[in-house]
Homo-oligomer: A and B are copies of this chain.
């Protein structure tokens, strides 16, 4: 008689309900892919009265979270509370009680990942987290297993559906940020307080998880340079298009020859013909560049109950099969072991997009070009958009690759020389 694997579900909101729903709807299929039966044995949530649009045994629902986490009959805990407070206690306690844990909590992992993985290892259990980045997009499993013979040099990801939805609609419908944000909030694609998404913090958390795995370093969110999309104007998207680019909020992580990592989140110009450029609306995609694998891209819905539940259950099924196969420590994951070694943003070397408002006088362009030249920055393209003839001209520059530190010096010099009406707006370019 094969033992049933008992699962405790912590958090019975949208995603938790989705997990139960997927198990119900695909039960026969899922059972056929398991070498032992699994069962949601207990569910904990602070709200035990609300009606959920899913069939489940009311007797297994409790508001006593810790009684589920510590229940000796439970083999696997699914943590879907989110945040870094109660969720942290839940995950730590479950691991200490030698239960395997599946979580979709990117904030928790970005802040405490390495500690939690160490705790899991100490207790000879697994901590799986496929849904923490890109929901069901199989990027975590691929980094842990498929690309295990590769040196990953670059990660570029559209990791946040809210901001990609906003940028897509700003560009395609030539609308302002605030306007599209409001619509996204109405559709439920953006939170009432959108700060976390639009300022890039959510992308930064996910990038930490990917970069830590790919580079074998313990990279946490305080190491990430973060810039959101609130200052991007619809005009920038129009100019970018004219120049053959599209603007995406990217999480970018690169590892140089000497093992130094750069980890940054900012709106970025990428070529319109690139595969990442075709990722529209709420979709996510992660591009990996490695040796010898070359370029890869994984794409899908990065949020929502369906994609997230698929990722969570994939982890649960994996664990159940590993437990049933009698492995010692099932599923040893490629967790970060090394110390972080981060390159400061001032040492970044990339191309830039600059939107400036210059005095519309003869020789002005030459004066700006001289300031750039003094800092070893060479101009690739100039696009002049006269906005206020005889007074001011809007000028767009795309530079060749230059040092971020030098760019800042050039911008300071322009400020001193009072060449611009206002602070130039800068975006980075990835070719």
Which residues of chain B are near A334, meaning CB under 8 Å?
Answer: 33
When distances are taken between beta carbons in the complex, the residues of chain B under 8 Å from A328 are: 325-326
By size class, the interface of chain A is 35 or more
A21 to B291, CA, bound (A): 11
Q: When the two chains form their complex, are residues A148 and B313 in contact, meaning their CB atoms are under 8 A apart?
A: yes
* Complex contact B309–A292 (CB within 8 A): yes
- Complex Cα–Cα for A216 and B277 (A): 35
- With contacts A296-B300, A304-B294, A326-B326 taken as known, whether A35 is within 8 angstroms of B332 at the C-beta atoms is yes
Of A5-13, A80-88, A137-145, A227-235, which binds chain B? Answer: A137-145
How far is it, in angstroms, between the C-alpha of A277 and the C-alpha of B296 when the chains are bound? 16
CA distance A151 to B33 in the complex (A): 11
Interface residue? A337 (CB, 8 A): yes
- Segment touching B, from A237-245, A315-323, A365-373: A315-323
CA distance A310 to B148 in the complex (A): 8
Cα–Cα distance between A311 and B318 once the two chains are bound (Å): 20
Cα separation A300 to B288 with both chains bound (whole Å): 9
Q: How far is the CA of A176 from the CA of B61 in the complex (A)?
A: 66
Stretch at the interface among A22-30, A110-118, A195-203, A347-355: A22-30
Q: Are A318 and B278 in contact (CB under 8 A)?
A: no
Whether B141 and A136, one on each chain, are in contact in the complex, defined by CB atoms closer than 8 angstroms, is no
Known A-B contacts A310-B293, A329-B325; A130 and B151 likewise in contact (beta carbons under 8 Å): no
A327 on interface, CB distance cutoff 8 Å? yes
**In the assembled complex, how far is the CB of residue A17 from the closest CB belonging to chain B, in whole angstroms?**
12
Q: Does A179 contact B (CB under 8 A)?
A: no
Q: Given A299-B297, A306-B294, A32–B216 Cβ distance below 8 Å?
A: yes
Interface centre among A277, A314, A330 (most CB of B within 10 A): A314
Interchain CA distance A277-B278 in the complex, whole Å: 9
Q: In the complex, are the beta carbons of A136 and B26 less than 8 A apart?
A: no
State the main secondary structure of chain A at its contact with B.
mixed
Contacts of A273 in B (CB 8 A): 278
Q: Is the beta-carbon distance between A327 and B317 smaller than 8 angstroms?
A: no
Inter-chain contacts of A306 with B (CB < 8 A): 291-294
A149 lies within 8 A of chain B by Cβ: yes
Of all chain B residues, the one with the shortest Cβ separation from A299 is B297
Instruction: State whether A138 and B146 are in contact (beta carbons under 8 Å apart), knowing that A32-B216, A294-B306 are contacts in the complex.
Output: yes
Interface centre among A35, A293, A306, A337 (most CB of B within 10 A): A293
For the complex, is A129 an interface residue (Cβ under 8 Å from B)? no
Residue A392 is within 8 A (CB to CB) of chain B in the complex: no
Smallest CB-CB separation from A275: which chain B residue?
Answer: B278
Residues in chain B near residue A332, CB distance under 8 A: 35, 321, 325
Q: Which residues of B contact A297 (CB under 8 A)?
A: 297-300
CB of B149 within 8 A of CB of A309, answer: yes
In the complex, the chain B residue whose C-beta lies closest to that of A300 is B296
A337 touches B29 (CB 8 A): no
Contact B293 A300 (CB under 8 A): yes
Q: Does B318 lie within 8 Å of A322, measured CB to CB?
A: no
**A150 beta carbon closer than 8 Å to chain B:** yes
